[in-house]
Amino acid sequence: MARILITSGPTRQYLDPVRYLTNGSSGRMGKALAQAALDLGHEVVIITGPVNVDYPAAAKIIPIISTEELLAAAREEFARCDGVIGAAAPCDYRPLQVETHKIAKNGQPLLLQLVETPDVIATLGSEKRPDQWVVGFALETDDARFRAITKLEKKHCDLIVLNGPTAMDAGDNDIELLDREGEVILSAHGSKDEVAKQIVQVIQAKLIAHFQLLAKE
């Protein structure tokens, strides 16, 4: 049995007390992955942004709002986990300045300076112990496979799940799972529950079983 951290859902980066940047991540893939991992007898910790899904009651749930909160919670929880699946879609830009009062419209354009938020999976990947594994997600619209492999390397992932923007807030998903050699080791299409089951089966065979074998040697 392994203890698996799953990040799920979107994050929000506020401009002022009302407005924020985000994306349409629904948390459904995170929920499906959690259920698939629980079904194989693993322990699951979910760190989730604001979503409207009901996560499995057997999982430990940690709600967060911003990418910075996601990172802080993920670093703390990952220390006690065997691996992480980064199914969240953290908002990757934040306003450089956050206004404490609601920005009033004045008829003029508003120039918003955005800076990148910390990369949660890259941080966990660079800090992971030799006995820990990291599975990332890449959502790409162009040069998808090339970009996914670049991300896998840069973020020190063991595997990366490649999907497109149509996956967001949808019931179905269409993914490729790539390994460190850049090989497509799984192509899956169907409901998020079915796709998640296949992804977790590969993680079980390639990562969990592998690391458990190493631990015994």
List the catalytic residues: 23
Query: Could you say whether residue 213 binds a second copy (CB under 8 A)?
Result: no
B/e letters for 84-110, b = 16+ CB within 10 Å, e = fewer, are bbbbbbbbbebbeeeeeeeeeeeeeee
The two three-digit tokens of residue 149, written as one number: 């492999």
Cβ distance 22 to 11 under 8 Å?
Answer: yes
Angle between helical axes of 67-78 and 120-127 (0-180°, round to 10): 20
Choices 17-25, 74-82, 126-134, 197-205; region in contact with a second copy by CB under 8 A: 17-25
Query: Could you say whether residue 110 binds a second copy (CB under 8 A)?
Result: yes
* Least distance to a second copy, CB of residue 98, Å: 13
Which x/- pattern, by CB under 8 A, does the window 25-64 give for a second copy?
-------------------------x-x------------
Query: Could you say whether residue 216 binds a second copy (CB under 8 A)?
Result: no
Binds a second copy by CB under 8 A, chosen from 79, 98, 112, 185: 112
Query: Could you say whether residue 17 binds a second copy (CB under 8 A)?
Result: yes
**Distance between CA atoms of residues 31 and 17, nearest Å:** 29
* Least distance to a second copy, CB of residue 113, Å: 6
**Distance between CA atoms of residues 105 and 108, nearest Å:** 7
Size of the residue set binding a second copy (CB under 8 A): 37
| Residue 126 main-chain phi, psi, to 5 deg | -75, -20
Query: Could you say whether residue 139 binds a second copy (CB under 8 A)?
Result: yes
Query: Could you say whether residue 102 binds a second copy (CB under 8 A)?
Result: yes
Choices 38-46, 66-74, 94-102, 198-206; region in contact with a second copy by CB under 8 A: 94-102
Binds a second copy by CB under 8 A, chosen from 3, 145, 147, 156: 147
| Residue 9 main-chain phi, psi, to 5 deg | 80, -175
**68 SS3 class:** helix
Strand partners, 93: 116
Query: Could you say whether residue 3 binds a second copy (CB under 8 A)?
Result: no
Contacts 24+ apart (CB under 8 A), 53-62: 53/9, 53/26, 53/27, 53/28, 55/8, 55/27, 55/30, 55/31, 56/31, 59/6, 59/34
> Which residue type is seen at 145?
R
- The residue (of 54 and 181) whose beta carbon lies closer to a second copy is 54
Q: Which residues bind a second copy (CB under 8 A)?
A: 12, 15, 17-24, 50, 52, 89, 91-93, 96, 101-102, 104-105, 107, 109-116, 139-142, 147, 165, 168
